[in-house]
Structure 1
Amino acid sequence: MTALRAQRAQQIADGKAAGDAWKGHGHGLVSTTKNGTPIEPRDLNRYFEALCARAEVRRVRFHDLRHTCASLLHEQGADARMIMEVLGHSSIRVTMDLYTFVRLDSQRSAFDRVGDALRGDGSRPDDDDGTAGVPVTV
């Protein structure tokens, strides 16, 4: 919320600086050009690519950020309806089928719990964390 408030304050300042050239009234957009108009997709992609290069991070498509957001929310335990609303989908099925995945370490952890349950003792032989004998719920 802090970042959104800061962005809104910047838009208000930009609007005052642009005067009559400001076209942002009524758009309700989070990010705009300096005169308040919607950002062209091609310009957004170029800006994002430059940001990735400057930050020295792997180049990804801007749209891939939606997948990352959905997957991280899912991994942190957010429920499907909340993720659906964040992404603006009309169907939970779209959200869960297209925008989430289970990371490999989460899969390993799930398989380890299945193995523990099948062994029946609730512990793995290599566990020495003091939980040996504690039943595992899968």
Structure 2
Amino acid sequence: MRRPRAPNGESPCLRSLEQHRNRHLQEHEAAGTDWKDCGYVFTRPDGAPIEGSTLTRHFNTLLRRAGLRRIRFHDLRHSTATLLLEQGVELVVIKELLGHAHIGVTATVYAHVRLRLQRDAIGLLGHALRYPAEITDKPDSDDEPPFAGAVVR
């Protein structure tokens, strides 16, 4: 899998997190003894946790400005995991990123994605066996599990 890189070789995500850390350290320094160390990566300027209602309000404002439909902030977590799975990232890696204690939780929550990916893979294989000179990119949107076997001639 090819990862996008910034001009200096870093991934855009890593660069963004490093910039955030630098801002966070500046806020910590500016707050001095008033800093409230909650241990979170994203906090208010004084180090205290961000209130859920404040986060929701700011998130909804960003969605509205971008012309996107309203979703829950937590839906970003699910979307990220789904996109990673669709890009071929292993389930165990996604489990670790999400902080699930057991891979069974991750497998259960994202079973619908895995079934679709399996069905797509079997469809691509079947097409490749029938028409080896062609390549297809037609995904199947049905959530039924794929057949366990296929006729090969």
Give the TM interval when normalised to the shorter protein: 0.7 to 0.9
TM superposition shift of 1:41: 1.5
Residue in structure 1 matched with residue 134 of structure 2 by the alignment: 129
TM superposition shift of 1:128: 5.7
Residue in structure 1 matched with residue 27 of structure 2 by the alignment: 14
Provide the secondary structure at the position in 1 that maps to 2:57: helix
Structure 1 position 90 matched with structure 2 position 101: yes
Structure 1 position 2 matched with structure 2 position 2: no
> Structure 1 length normalisation: TM-score?
0.74
Could you tell which deviates more after superposition, 11-20 or 96-105?
96-105
* Aligned 1:100-115 pairs, distance under 5 A: 101-102=112-113, 106=117, 109-110=120-121, 112-113=123-124, 115=126
The alpha-carbon distance between structure 1 residues 101 and 71, as it changes in their structure 2 partners (threshold 3 A), is: farther
Residue in structure 2 matched with residue 47 of structure 1 by the alignment: 58
TM superposition shift of 1:10: 0.5
Alignment: residue pair count: 124
> Structure 2 length normalisation: TM-score?
0.67
The alpha-carbon distance between structure 1 residues 30 and 5, as it changes in their structure 2 partners (threshold 3 A), is: same
Q: Tell me if the contact between 1:67 and 1:100 (Cα under 8 Å) persists in the aligned partners.
A: no
Residue in structure 1 matched with residue 78 of structure 2 by the alignment: 67
- Larger Rg: 1 or 2? 1
The alpha-carbon distance between structure 1 residues 67 and 50, as it changes in their structure 2 partners (threshold 3 A), is: same
Percent identity among equivalent residues?
42
